[in-house]
Amino acid sequence: MNGGGKGTAGRIRIIGGSLRNSRLDVPELPGLRPTPERVRETLFNWLAPVIDGARCLDLCAGTGALGIEALSRGAAGVQFVERDTCAAQALRANLARLEADAGQVTVLDAGLFLQGAAQPYDLVFLDPPFALDLWPALARQLEQGGWLAARGWVYVESPRGLAPALPPNWQLHREGQAGEVRFALYRRALPLS
């Protein structure tokens, strides 16, 4: 969802789990593009066997809709990373209002965050601003920096028709398209020595 005018861009809803039908306030910010409901529904249907108890990283979180949806469906915790202060503030407010205590927000550029001390995540949401073409660099940092569990999952959202260059050991599990968006779920295989 792209911003441009004044005021609040609106609200989106959580579509499943314990927070189902909860609304998230969405600030109006240039380039902010919440993952559409039907894409989230498809993705979390794919993730149903593995989401319960998963440790998640919502990189370039924006509204945090993906991470909050994960918390709603039983994820053990979500680390949200968002560089825009206004988006991060709205995300914190939504988490507080929903009493989603297992979500933690860090205000920092995703690339800088991934230069820190790594801890492996079971599931990473990789949905950077489309205009910045950050997929290859962030994917490389995730893979090489120890941020992914041995058989972790990575969700990648990109413009329709663009399959970003990703590490060769990320195996495509499922993919789809909706409107101008390509969405894909990858499973990490252990790299060959």
Inside any domain, residue 24: no
Residue 137's Cβ-count burial label (10 Å; 0-12, 13-18, 19+) is: middle
Please check whether residue 182 lies inside any domain of the structure: yes
Specify the pTM: 0.91
- Residue located via tokens 């993730």: 47
Residue 12 lies in a domain: no
CA torsion through residues 94, 132, 115, 39, sign: positive
pLDDT in tens, 22-64: 998 888 887 777 888 899 999 999 999 999 999 999 999 999 9
| Domain span including residue 136 | 33-188
Count of residues making up the chain: 193
Q: Supply the CATH number for residue 145's domain.
A: 3.40.50.150
Buried b (16+ CB within 10 A) or exposed e, 25-62: ebbbbeebbbbbeebbebbbebbeeebeebbbbbbbbb
Give the model's pLDDT for residue 192.
60
The encoded tokens of residue 12 equal 């989106």
